[in-house]
Structures are given as structure tokens and as C-alpha cells.
Amino acid sequence: MAKRTLLGTLSAMAILGTMPAISQASEPAGPGIRLCSVGYLPEAPKTASVAGVQTDGTSFEIVDADSGKVVHQGLLGAARYNKSTGETLRATDFSALSAYGSYLMRIEGLPDSAPFKVAPDALNRSLLCVMIGFYGQRCGQAVSFEWDGVTFSHDTCHMDDGYLDYLAPAQSGQKRDGTGGWHDAGDYGKYTVNSAFSMGLMLAAWERNGEALKQLRLPIPESGGALPDYLAEIKYNLDWQLKMQFEDGKVAHKLTELRFGGMIMPEDHDDPRYFSPVSKIATIDFAAIGCMAARVYEQYDPAYAAIWREAAKKAWIAQRNMPAEVDISAFSTGTYLPNPESDTRWALVEVALTFGEEFLLEWEREFLHDIVDNDNAMFDVTWDWGKACNLGLYDWLFSDRAKEDPAAYERLKKDLFRAADAIVANRNSHGYGRGIRVNYWGCNGAVARTSLNLHAAYLISGDTKYLDAAYDQIAYLYGRNPFARSFVTGDGHKPPMYQHHRPSAADGIEPPWPGHLSGGANPRETDWFDETASYRTNENAINWDAALVYALSIFYRP
Ligand code: 9MR
Ligand code: ZN
């Protein structure tokens, strides 16, 4: 599905007079030191991957960036061939360095590493950055914020969302309120499935790390209100999601234009946008996120939680009689048709946790039993919007309900550790410590998403090896990778400059909008292109950023 041709992209930019230097083809960085350029918590594992050192027994130094003094030294590890990138790499462990400060790594014959810091709050700014990124995705509202001294803004957009022609042909030409929410990615579409999946990740972060997240201050209009800022930002998108549900409880699959528009600002995008037909899968995902929202918001806004309880209940009941098929062929925008069984598992668990098992039909109770009490591999190692089951399984594991059946609880835990250990094994055998083995469109999101599994394994076992592996996934995304660059706009060393993100391409400002994880290299781990046209490797998306929010929230230290 070709989204934009390079030519189309260029002409759109030329028309707007914002033509940037278009191409910075990304290739593996060659000889050099790759590490986590946003820094390390003192207790974090600190490993650099070094390319281009032939001699065994070569030493490295850690130099204080201010004083120039050598504060730590050691030897590079043995040379190891890393198949996925075709490089020979040496691991360099400097975990012993725990004194707070700013440093760089020096190895004779190589350029100095990117500067990095060691501090307890080393990742706080990165979390702030990604959350500001969500604010920047707001639709239906003017947005303005500053990052690194640059102001990013867009005007009120998509106030005609959306027309009913494809949902209810009899009402063609009529509108219904579907304004608000987050733009999905580099495009301006709004997709129920991916929106629910993304918020599922972010509410899971809240459910595990809420005590810290409560303290995060964001530059959003709601800041300082009754809700913690983190929940206020998510509520902006939840409010839109509610508008995707109809009186009968069914939920529209998406709300987008018929085909992607040019690389223009959202306020200039005036192609008509339509509610798509309702779908069973969107209704299921809506129910799942509604149950989570009802739980999370109860403490701060019981009335809002009650709205979601009702909406989720209606959706769950409605989906029981919906056909699995949906016809969205009139649209060429994103499809987001996930594995129905996996998402049903997620939703069923959430429904059971929020409404109790008496609410379920008999076959649903049996299915629930099958999901949470099973010897088979349940937790996915690599998962994405197409397979949301993991989200439900973590929630079940951390619920009191799970412990009521100790044997089942043990079995589910065992399966969690099977998946977590597989991630750790992947990380141990990978030259840059990456926890997944596949490269596909958006795989950087899956790298970040391993943090949910690793964190759950850590919380249950107390074994810090899982936490260390989670940190390594962050390290990969911020510079310990074959490109020696950060994959997150506005943060870390040599971040992406030409993301496939319409506001970034169209606003006439050199740096891209900050806080967005680039989809990542595919189909090979060396195929990543920092080019506006490379939507396959260099777009942003809320499901990738949301996974990164979870990863960073583990290490957020207010
Ligand atoms: O993340 C999605 C990826 O898994 C698919 O392979 C790809 C092609 O269908 O679509 C990606 O999602 C895009 C969505 O369809 C539309 N908005 C931009 C998303 C990120 O590229
Ligand atoms: Zn918009």
C-alpha cells in the first residue's frame, strides 16, 4: 500500500516552499562506539557496542566531559560477529561507573562516543519528551509548545470530523461529532483499534508505575487540574474514543479521509473525513480500553469512570452479535485489522476484571478460564497492535483475582517467565542487546514493548536481570544500535531529522516535532533511512510511542 510516492512528497513540499535537504541515507555507522546517548541511571547496566577494533586487549577510558579526567577504564570484550547487522562487535561493560556526571567513552583510533550522563533522573527528560509528543498529536485543537528553544505549533484541525456517508449511507452528507483525539502517526487518521492499543499500553504503565507518573508535569492546557497531567493527556484521546461509539453500543472502525493527503499541516488538510463502518474488532478493543479507563479514572473522576463503565459494557454486549467482517474497502488509509482471537482475549480479561465473571456468558467464562489457566505459550515475545492479548494477561497477573486460584496463577507466571527469558536470551545473543529477533514495519515499537514483559517478570521475581534487559532496550533505541543514533526525534544523539510526519515536513521549521520514535529498520536491521519519504522505516505512530512511554516510565524518578 504505497502511501506517498517520493515525488508526491517532494512536490507537496515544493509547493509549500519548505523543501528541506531531502535525504540523509542512513547506513550502519562504521567504526565507532554506540551507547545509550540519553544516559544511564547509576544502577543501570552500562554496555557500549564497539565496531572497528581489530586487536584483542584494547582498552577503553571513560572521561569526565567537564574536567577531561579519566574516571574509569577497562578492556573491550572479545570480538563477536553479529549476524543481523553483519558486523563484528565488541561489548564494553562499564556498569561499575555509578558516580553522577557527564562522560564520554574514548578508545584509541576511534572517534569519541556521544556524550552521556549518569544520574538518577537520567531518563526523566526522555519521558517528558515522548509525552509532549502525544500532546503534539492532538487533533481538533490548536497546539503549541516549546522544546529545546523551538516553538512547535499547529492550528485547530479537522473540525468537520466526520461525515456519515460510509457508516450510514442514508445520512450521506451529514456529520456527527468525531472531533478530538490524537492523530495516529505521520498521517492524520484516527483509528479505534490502534488508539485503544496505545492507551492500553499507557494505562498499563499507569497501573504499574502510577505513583511516579502522578508527578509528571506536562505543558498541556489541563496541567495542574484535578487529574494528574499524565491521565489528562490520555483523557484527551479517550474523550474522542467515546465519540466513536454509537447508540447501539457498536464502534466505528476508524475516522479518516479516503486517501492520505499531502505533507501539509493538519489545519490545511480539508479533505472530507468519514466514519468508517462499525467493526466487531473495534468494538472489542473499545470495550477493553473502556474497562481499563473505568478502573484508572475511578479514583480521580468517578463520574467519568462511570461513563466508561457503561460504554464498555454496551460495547461488550453489542460485539457478541456482530459479524467478524467489516468492509472498509472505500478507504485506502490504514486498515488496523488485528488478530481477533488475541484481542478478544485482552478484552475478555479486562471485562472480567472490571465487571466480574458473573457478567460473562457461559462460553465466555470457559474461554476466560482457558486464557488465564493454560500450559500453552500465552505471552507473545514480539507483539504489536495486531495482537493485544499480552495486555490482558499482565493485568490479570497483577490482579487479586489471579491469586484466588494458586495453581493457575503459578502456570501463568511460568509462562510469563518463559517469554521474559526468551527476551533476555535474544538480548544476550544480540550485538546491541536487542530483545527481539525480527525486523518489520514498526519493530522499534516492539523493542520498547518488550519492557512490559521484562518489567512484569521483575516485579514478580525481584530479579534485576529483567530490569537490566529492559534498560538495554532503551539503550538500543537511543543510540546503541547499528546507526549510532537516537531513533527518537528531539532527544539523544543525532536523532531523526526527516521523519515521515506531516507537521514536521510542512511547518517550515528545521527540527522535526519531538518525542516520536521512528518505526525502525526493516526488512533488515541495517535498512533504516532518515528520509521523509521512508514511511516504512521512519514514520512515527502512537502505538510505538506508547510502548516507549511504558519503558521509560519504569525508570522515571521524579
Ligand atoms: O504499524 C502498521 C504496520 O504494522 C503495518 O505493516 C503498516 C501497513 O499496513 O501500517 C502501519 O500503521 C500505519 C497505519 O496503517 C496508518 N497510520 C500510520 C501507521 C504507521 O505507519
Ligand atoms: Zn486533526
The CATH number of the domain where 90 resides is what?
A: 2.60.40.10
The residue among 57, 83, 118 that closes a domain is: 118
457 inside domain: yes
CA of 268 to the centre of ligand 2 (A): 10
Cell of 168: 450510514
For a mutational test of ligand 1's pocket, the pick from 187, 201, 385, i.e. the residue with the most ligand atoms closer than 8 A to its C-beta, is 187
**308 assigned to some structural domain:** yes
What pLDDT sits at residue 15?
37
pLDDT greater than 70 at residue 384:
yes
Q: Tell me the average pLDDT across 439-443.
A: 98
Where does the pLDDT of residue 29 fall: very low under 50, low under 70, confident under 90, or very high at 90 and above?
Answer: confident
Tell me: do 79 and 159 sit in the same domain: no
- Answer whether residue 1 is part of any domain: no
- Residue having the nearest C-alpha atom to atom 9 of ligand 1: 334
Show the domain range for 241.
6-22+123-554
Q: How confident is the model at residue 26 (pLDDT cuts 50, 70, 90)?
A: low
Q: What is the pTM of this model?
A: 0.95
Which of 66, 87, 118 finishes a domain?
A: 118
Task: Please report, for the domain that includes residue 339, its CATH number.
Answer: 1.50.10.10
Q: Is the pLDDT of residue 3 over 90?
A: no
Pocket of ligand 1 (CB under 6 A): 1, 184-185, 187, 189, 334, 441-442, 535, 539, 541
Same domain, 75 and 146: no
Residue 97 included in any domain: yes
Same domain for 76 and 184, yes or no, is no
Q: 3-class DSSP state for residue 98?
A: coil
Task: Report H helices in 250-361.
Answer: 280-297, 302-319, 340-355
C-alpha cell at 186: 505521520
Query: Does 188 lie in the same domain as 100?
Result: no
Q: Does residue 32 sit within a domain?
A: no
pLDDT-derived band at 252 (thresholds 50, 70, 90) equals very high
**How much distance in Å is there from the Cα of 309 to the middle of ligand 1?**
30
* Alpha carbons 133 and 237: distance in angstroms, whole number: 13
pLDDT at 9 over 60: no
For residue 402 the three cell numbers come to 489471579
pLDDT number for residue 2 = 34
68 located within any domain: yes
Confidence of residue 403 (pLDDT cuts 50, 70, 90): very high
Domain co-membership, 181 together with 56: no
**Average pLDDT of the residues in 234-250:** 98
Hey, which residues are catalytic here?
187, 500, 530, 539
Do residues 326 and 358 share a domain?
Answer: yes
SS3 129: helix
pLDDT, tens only, 173-185: 999 999 999 999 9
- Do the domain assignments include residue 230? yes
Per the structure, how many domains does the chain have? Answer: 2
Ligand nearest to the CA of 537: 1
Give pLDDT, residue 24: 52
Q: Residues 299-332: pLDDT tens digits?
A: 999 999 999 999 999 999 999 999 999 999 999 9
- Do 375 and 483 lie in one domain? The reply is yes
Residues 98 and 161 in one domain: no
| Same domain, yes or no: 285 and 393 | yes
Specify the 3-state DSSP secondary structure of 62. Answer: strand
pLDDT in tens, 53-72: 999 999 999 999 999 999 99
Residue 405 placed within a domain: yes
Same domain, 392 and 506: yes
Per-residue model confidence (pLDDT) at position 14: 35
Shared-domain flag, residues 97 and 169: no
- Residues 349-370 have pLDDT tens digits of 999 999 999 999 999 999 999 9
Q: Which of 85, 118, 151 is the endpoint of a domain? A: 118
Q: Are residues 541 and 501 in the same domain?
A: yes
